[in-house]
C-alpha cells in the first residue's frame, strides 16, 4: 500500500506544481493588463491515517489566492476617461446583460452611444445628478445607471440659485418709506444698484437689476427687477413691478447680517424659482462694493469637454465656459477583497468569504481617491514570477522522480514471482 501511496503522492506534487506554473503563466501573460491582480498557488498538507508500523503518504492541496488588495503603480495618460483608484475600492461596472461587477480596470472610452466602456466591454456605472445631488445606496447596486455622455445635442439650464457678497455703506442716508424701490414709482430712490445675469427655461439671458436701499439704522431693502421691463431712459417704474423684495437687518456693532431673512426669492421671467443668498453681505464704513456674485444656469451650449474630479464627480464643460455636474462615480468595497471571485474580463464578484459589497464615494472612510487621466498597472513582478517558475519546474521534476522510483519498485515487486 505504501508504494501506491508513494506514487499517488508524487502525482499530487506534480499536480500542485502544475497549478503553480499555471498561475505564473497567467501572471506573466497579464503583466501589462490594466488593473490585473496577480494570482499565487498556496499549498497545504494532505495527511492520511497511519497505523503502527505503516506510514501512508498523503499529498498536497492547492489553493489559488489573488492579491486583489495589493495596489499597482499608477501610470498617467492623456485621456480624461482613463480612471484609477488610488487606495481601496473598486469601480462598479455592468455587462451587456446588466449584471453588476467590480473592477480596477479603468481604461474607459466612449462607445457609439456615449457610454464609457473599458477594454473588456464593461460599462461604467454611476449615480446621476438628474434628480439632484445623489446619495450612495450603501448595501446594493440600486440607483446606479450607465455613464452616458453625448455631445450631439445642446442643453440649457434655468437659474435656480445664486449668491451676492459685498458691502453696503453704513453711512448712507436712509430713504423715505414712500420713495422705496418696492413702491415702483417714478420717484423711487435707492442707495446702491447692481445687475446680475440669470437664465430662463430656454437658456435666454435675463438681466436682473438689484437695488439695495437703506431704510433706517441697520435696516435695508433689497429689490430685484427685470431690466427689460424698465422705463426707457430712466428705469423706474418697471412694468409688472418687482420680481422679489426682502427686508434686511444688520448688527450695527459688527456690521453682519442678522435676523431670519438672509436672501431674496423671486421667479425668473419664463424661468424657475430663484433664490439669491445675501447672507455674506455686510454693512460697514466705506462705499458700496461687490466681492463676488454668481447665479447658476447656462445658455444653450454643446459639451466642449468632460472633467472628472477626485471625488468621482463627472462635469460637463460647455463651450460658453459654464459647467454642470452630470454623474458621480461611486466606489465599492468588501471586507476581504482577496477573497473576491475573479472572473473573465478582469472583474470580480462577491463570494461567501469576501463579505457583502458596500457602496460609497471616493475619499470617504477607507475608500481611496479617483484619479482621472491615469491607469493602474498590474501588480505583477516579472522577476519574482520567473523565480517562481524555476522553483516550480524543479519541484515538478523532483516529484516526477518520486513517481518514477515508485514505478520501478513496483516492477521489482511484480517480478519477484518470476
Domain-by-domain residue ranges, the chain? 2-67+379-417, 74-153+302-376, 156-300
Helices (runs of H) and strands (runs of E) counted in the chain: 2, 31
Q: Which residue has the cell 462705499?
A: 287
Of 49-58, 71-80, 133-142, 145-154, highest mean pLDDT: 71-80
For residue 240, the model assigns a pLDDT of 93
In this structure, which topology does domain 156-300 adopt according to CATH?
Tick-borne Encephalitis virus Glycoprotein; domain 1 (2.60.98)
Cell matching residue 164: 451676492
For residue 301, the model assigns a pLDDT of 79
Q: Which residue has the cell 499517488?
A: 8
Q: How far is CA 175 from CA 172, 244, 254, 345, 393, in A?
A: 9, 19, 22, 73, 96
Which of these ranges, 7-21, 39-53, 359-373, has the smallest mean pLDDT?
Answer: 39-53
Work out the mean pLDDT of the chain and round it to a whole number: 91
Question: Phi and psi at residue 384, in whole multiples of 5°?
Answer: -65, -40
| Contact assessment for residue 326 and residue 149, using Cβ atoms and an 8 Å cutoff | yes
In this predicted model, what pLDDT tens digit does every residue of 101-119 receive, in sequence order? 999 999 999 998 889 999 8
Region 234-250: mean pLDDT is: 95
Q: Is the pLDDT of residue 151 over 70?
A: no
Query: What is the model's pTM?
Result: 0.69
For residue 153, the model assigns a pLDDT of 61
For residue 418, the model assigns a pLDDT of 64
For residue 417, the model assigns a pLDDT of 67
Closest residue by Cα to residue 330 from 37, 130, 134, 118? 134
Q: Is the pLDDT of residue 198 over 70?
A: yes
> In the chain, what is the straight-line distance between the N-terminal and C-terminal CA atoms, in Å?
21
Amino acid at each position: 500500500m505504501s508504494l501506491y501511496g508513494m506514487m499517488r503522492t508524487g502525482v499530487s506534487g506534480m499536480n500542485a506544481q502544475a497549478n503553480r506554473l499555471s498561475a505564473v503563466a497567467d501572471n506573466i501573460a497579464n503583466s501589462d493588463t490594466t488593473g490585473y491582480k496577480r494570482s499565487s498557488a498556496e499549498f497545504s498538507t494532505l495527511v492520511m491515517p497511519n497505523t503502527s508500523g505503516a506510514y501512508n503518504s498523503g499529498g498536497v492541496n492547492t489553493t489559488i489566492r489573488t492579491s486583489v488588495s495589493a495596489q499597482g503603480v499608477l501610470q498617467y495618460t492623456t485621456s480624461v476617461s482613463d480612471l484609477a483608484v488610488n487606495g481601496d475600492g473598486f469601480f462598479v461596472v455592468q455587462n451587456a446583460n446588466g449584471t453588476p461587477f467590480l473592477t480596477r480596470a479603468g481604461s474607459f472610452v466612449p462607445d457609439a452611444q456615449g457610454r464609457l466602456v473599458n477594454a473588456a466591454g464593461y460599462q461604467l456605472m454611476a449615480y446621476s445628478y438628474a434628480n439632484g445631488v445623489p446619495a450612495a445606496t450603501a448595501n446594493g447596486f440600486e440607483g446606479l445607471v450607465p455613464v452616458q455622455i453625448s455631445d450631439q445635442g445642446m442643453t440649457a439650464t434655468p437659474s435656480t440659485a445664486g449668491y451676492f457678497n459685498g458691502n453696503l455703506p453704513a453711512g448712507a442716508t436712509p430713504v423715505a418709506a414712500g420713495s422705496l424701490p418696492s413702491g415702483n414709482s417714478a420717484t423711487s430712490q435707492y442707495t446702491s444698484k447692481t445687475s446680475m445675469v440669470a437664465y430662463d427655461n430656454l437658456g435666454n439671458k435675463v438681466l436682473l437689476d438689484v437695488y439695495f436701499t437703506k431704510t433706517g439704522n441697520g435696516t435695508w431693502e433689497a429689490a430685484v427687477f427685470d431690466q427689460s421691463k424698465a422705463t426707457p431712459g430712466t428705469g423706474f417704474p418697471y412694468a409688472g413691478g418687482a420680481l422679489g423684495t426682502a427686508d434686511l437687518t444688520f448688527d450695527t456693532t459688527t456690521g453682519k447680517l442678522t435676523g431670519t431673512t438672509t436672501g431674496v426669492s423671486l421667479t425668473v421671467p419664463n424661468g424657475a424659482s430663484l433664490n439669491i443668498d445675501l447672507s455674506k453681505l455686510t454693512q460697514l464704513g466705506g462705499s458700496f462694493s461687490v466681492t463676488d456674485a454668481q447665479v447658476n444656469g447656462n445658455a444653450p451650449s454643446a459639451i466642449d469637454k468632460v472633467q472628472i474630479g477626485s471625488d468621482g464627480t463627472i462635469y460637463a464643460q460647455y463651450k460658453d465656459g459654464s459647467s454642470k455636474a452630470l454623474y458621480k462615480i461611486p466606489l465599492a468595497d468588501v471586507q476581504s477583497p482577496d477573497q473576491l471571485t475573479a472572473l473573465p474580463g478582469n472583474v470580480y464578484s462577491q463570494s461567501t468569504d469576501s463579505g457583502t459589497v458596500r457602496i460609497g464615494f471616493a475619499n470617504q472612510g477607507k475608500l481611496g481617491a479617483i484619479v482621472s487621466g491615469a491607469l493602474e498597472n498590474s501588480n505583477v513582478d516579472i522577476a519574482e514570477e520567473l523565480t517562481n517558475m524555476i522553483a516550480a519546474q524543479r519541484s515538478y521534476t523532483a516529484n516526477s522522480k518520486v513517481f518514477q522510483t515508485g514505478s520501478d519498485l513496483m516492477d521489482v515487486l511484480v517480478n519477484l514471482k518470476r
